[in-house]
Structure 1
C-alpha cells in the first residue's frame, strides 16, 4: 500500500525496502523527495501514475486552448 501524501511529500509504502531502508533516511532527513534513496519502486510507480493522470486531466481541460 502506497500513500503519496505521507511524510511531507516523501510518501510511504508498506514494503520491506521502504520500511527498512527508506524510512530511516526520511526520518533522519537524509535526502530530498523522489530520489532513489528516499523512495521504493512502488512509490516511484505511484508518483508516475499520479503525474500521468494529472497531466491527462490538464490536457483535457486546457489542451484546446493551444493555438
Structure 2
C-alpha cells in the first residue's frame, strides 16, 4: 500500500500530533491515524500537509474520544 518512507512519515506525524493525547485514548489516535493515512493515499505526502490534516482532525475529534 505505502512505501516505507511514506509509512514512516505518517507514523512520525501521528506521534507528533498525538503526543499530548493519553495512551488510553485509542479512539482519538485511531481517528487521526485514519485521516493521515487517507490523505497520504490520496497523494498528500508532504509533512506540512499531513501535519495540518492531523491537527485539524484532532481538534474536531469528539471529546468522548479524548
Same structural fold, with TM-score higher than 0.5 when normalized by the shorter chain? no
More helix by share: 2
More strand by share: 1
Taking structure 2 as the reference length, what is the TM-score of the superposition? 0.32
